[in-house]
Amino acid sequence: MKRWLPSLPLSLALFATWLLLNQSIDPAHLLLGAVLAIAAPLLARPLQPHGHARIGRPLALFRLLWRSAIEIVRSCFNVSRIILFRKADGVNSQFIHVPLELRSPHGLALLSCLINSTPGTVWVELLPDNNELLLHVFDLHDEQWWINTIKTQYEQPIRELFEPAAVSGEHP
């Protein structure tokens, strides 16, 4: 089972993608989708040096995505307001450093996608020596507020998803 289906969520996602692309649940498309769902992860396995992500609690992932979606819409309005009504000179764009404890490559990938999808923040890079994130903020008011927000709103839930052992070790 493990050998032919290395990651069930990945296979299910590919299967659903195929059916959505073809907008059909014909038996022929079900069959083709199943072939794709089984073959593609096997063929792409050498491209996954870190292996497949294991998500223990899908519900927590959806909660995180839902909260991020609300945050994205809120930031959209903030950024639009700044573009429309603020003088361009008055926008305080800054680089800030956010120290991260998250190490899991899948978790970091998710974090970077969420941060970059949120208007007003762009991930620049992860400094390798001290695991600090260099982040560009569109309109900075309070550096500490941004650091706290990213650590509690994003990093903590992602660590609980991808590094449950490390998190429970810290808070026994």
What residue ranges bind another protein (CB under 8 A)? 17, 20-21, 23, 72-73, 76, 79-80, 83-84, 88-89, 91, 93-97, 112-113, 115-120, 122-125, 127, 129-130, 132, 136, 138
Question: Residue 88 carries which side chain, given as an amino acid letter?
Answer: A
In the bound state with another protein, the residue whose beta carbon lies nearer, of 119 and 157, is 119
User: b or e along 115-152 (b: 16 or more beta carbons within 10 Å of the residue's beta carbon)?
Assistant: beebbbbebeebeeeeeebebebbebeeeeebbeebbe
| Closest CB 86 distance from another protein, rounded Å | 9
* Shortest distance, position 111 Cβ to another protein, whole Å: 10
Q: Give min distance, CB of 37 to another protein, in A.
A: 15
